[in-house]
């Protein structure tokens, strides 16, 4: 069930996918406009940022960057239960990563006990070329026709459709969807108990209007 701003003053977006598909890269591109080509293993990171809607309502958006490893099934299940909308990430040059997306979708359906929890499927690493055109057509048919989900091609490296991923997720939870720069904003990374790190405070943000 989609949530409205009036019903909840914070929303959690959960990014899921295999290791190395670019979940962290997409989040960092959106929040910090940076790209690091080196893959670094993520256990779990929670980013928090505040937005103001067109109606003047303050909403906290949490972005959960999850591990691509299947070593932590209990952590993954908890992430799904606590999520309000989900980005399922695969790499366009790796068909096996889409098979993992299919399994993750089934896990979300079980965890949320809903037929259509808010989710967006993202084919990242579009910058690697169009060699997977047939693969893309097959994925589109499944995601948009069978799953009734939005499918986006992205490149964290080239900043292609990155903002659109977040815009679409916010549409799924009935938040105003136009993202624009704001003069002041606070971003911070909230460490989890399993992987404690000092908070990172960033100045600069986006608002919803």
Q: What is the mean pLDDT of each run of 10 residues along the chain (209 residues)?
A: 55 94 94 84 83 77 85 82 95 92 95 90 86 74 93 94 93 70 38 38 40
Does some domain include residue 5? Answer: no
- Closest CA relative to residue 120, chosen from 168, 77, 66, 62: 168
Residue-range definition of the domain harbouring residue 45: 10-208
Verdict on whether the full-model pTM lies above 0.95: no
Q: How many other C-beta atoms lie within 10 A of the C-beta of residue 27?
A: 23
Does some domain include residue 3? Answer: no
Does some domain include residue 94? Answer: yes
Per the structure, the count of domains in the chain is: 1
Does some domain include residue 82? Answer: yes
Does some domain include residue 128? Answer: yes
Does some domain include residue 2? Answer: no
pLDDT of residue 154: 94
Does some domain include residue 102? Answer: yes
pLDDT of residue 116: 87
Looking up residue 63, the CATH number of its domain turns out to be 3.40.50.300
Does some domain include residue 28? Answer: yes
């Amino acid at each position: 069930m989609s949530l409205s701003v009036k019903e909840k003053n914070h929303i959690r977006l959960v990014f899921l996918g295999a290791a190395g598909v670019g979940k962290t890269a997409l989040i960092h591109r959106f929040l910090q406009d940076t790209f690091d080509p080196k893959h670094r293993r993520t256990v779990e990171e929670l980013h928090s940022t505040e937005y103001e809607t067109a109606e003047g309502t303050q909403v906290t958006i949490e972005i959960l960057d999850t591990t691509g490893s299947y070593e932590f099934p209990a952590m993954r299940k908890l992430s799904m239960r606590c999520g309000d909308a989900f980005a399922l990430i695969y790499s366009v040059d790796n068909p096996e990563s889409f098979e993992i997306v299919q399994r993750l979708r089934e896990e979300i359906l079980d965890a949320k006990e809903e037929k259509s929890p808010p989710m967006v499927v993202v084919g990242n690493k579009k910058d690697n070329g169009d060699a997977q055109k047939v693969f893309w057509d097959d994925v589109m048919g499944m995601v948009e026709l069978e799953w009734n989900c939005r499918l986006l091609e992205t490149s964290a490296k080239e900043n292609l459709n990155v903002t659109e991923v977040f815009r679409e997720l916010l549409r799924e939870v009935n938040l105003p969807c136009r993202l624009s720069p704001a003069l002041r904003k606070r971003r911070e990374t909230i460490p989890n108990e399993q992987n404690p790190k000092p908070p990172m405070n960033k100045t600069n943000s986006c608002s919803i209007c």
